[in-house]
Structure 1
């Protein structure tokens, strides 16, 4: 009886209760949507796992990037760039445009929640002196800051800046060449266009191999 009188007096307790009840359901729905897209695909878009691996680990041989553990905001921005055509990729532009923004957000959050492999990188191996200098100190005579000063210790990224470690060598080199030639949006990372142009192809390849935990070529 008291509860009935209270509910008649004010609807707010009931509304607040229902709102809090909905939060887990909404979160669960978003999580389920991310799993569905990653594992099965949606809207004629194939499963992300077909190219990016069962756990989002990427495919080194094919050059498909790691998604697991990447920042959700970064992943969503990249999908948006593909969708609006500002980042080029014939395949990814088609797939991103076929996804709604809610679906793109769900897949970004799904992969961001997966563990990355950064903590397992670079154990027991050193970069050569020139590459180590670029990674840790940069070369300010050419307006090149240290890679790790922005992308975090060992290139594992931060909440705002993406991880560059543990990506396929081919993918890293291709993306740096896109910065060099202006075919990747400057607006998403203005310094990268300058940095990539000021690095030599040999330096880019050396950084890529180190970050991928591959032995440097002699």
Structure 2
């Protein structure tokens, strides 16, 4: 699995392409229903456990919409929301939300040092790689690889996803396999700290 992680981190430029097939103007027309839960432009979810979907990256968003639609990524709150939407409509939604600005939260000051240490340096003792190596030092992600923009994301949502990777309930892609391996090495305290740190990262 370490070789898999290294291959993705260092070789992604050779193997991945940006999606870029959506029309954001068309996507905006279909985005109204999404905003009921995710907020205006996808940047203000009604609950901390819901993700901000603004600015995450078009490829990542499209891949997640497809996975949710075909139920390979099960999210009960999204049941039926994408039923009947064409592939082009999913591409358009991804393009629209990818262009929206993500707002930044305030990290817990008591968790910043620990969270920053994990995000930027990982944990050599337990084999945790630095989050920044895939998701960018400022949390801007890697669009061609489909690695999402994390900076500003809700801490509660990040922690929920890291635990879902860790317990194997989010396992629907090659990128998920990487995160499952990483999360398996994270303690609850590390998850709490790094999630808080990321929520204030910009």
What's 1:133 paired with? 117
- Residue in 1 aligned with 2:45? 59
Relative to structure 2, which stretch is displaced further, 104-113 or 59-68? 59-68
Residues 1:196 and 1:36: Cα distance change in structure 2 (over 3 Å):
same
CA distance in 2, matches of 1:38, 1:65: 15
Aligned: 1:163 with 2:149: yes
The alignment yields a C-alpha RMSD, in angstroms, of: 2.5
* Residue of structure 2 in register with 1:16 after alignment: none
- Name stretches of at least 5 consecutive residues in structure 1 with no aligned partner: 1-26, 40-46
Alignment partner of 1:178 is 2:171 = no
Residues 1:87 and 2:73 aligned together: yes
- Residue 165 (structure 1) shift: 1.7
Which residue among 11, 28, 33 is the counterpart of 2:26? 33
Cα 1:31/1:151, change in 2 over 3 Å: closer
Question: Normalising by structure 1, what TM-score?
Answer: 0.72
Structure 2 partner of 1:44: none
Q: Return closer, same or farther for 1:76/1:130 CA change in 2, 3 Å cut-off.
A: same
Cα 1:81–1:112 change in 2 (3 A) is: same
**In the alignment, structure 1 residue 152 sits paired with structure 2 residue 136:** yes
Task: Flag the 1:107–1:51 CA change in 2: closer, same or farther, 3 A.
Answer: same
CA distance in 2, matches of 1:33, 1:206: 39
Q: Which fold has the larger relative contact order, with Cα–Cα distance below 8 Å and residues 6 or more apart in sequence?
A: 2
Against the structure 1 CA distance between its residues 186 and 38, is the aligned structure 2 distance closer, same or farther, given a 3 Å change threshold?
closer
Q: Which has the higher helix share?
A: 1
* Residue of structure 1 equivalent to 2:182: 195
**Count of residue pairs brought into register by the alignment:** 177
Check if 1:105 corresponds to 2:99: no
Structure with bigger gyration radius: 1
Taking the aligned partners of 2:79 and 2:72, their CA distance within structure 1 comes to: 9
Runs of at least 5 residues in structure 2 that lack an aligned partner in the other structure: 1-20
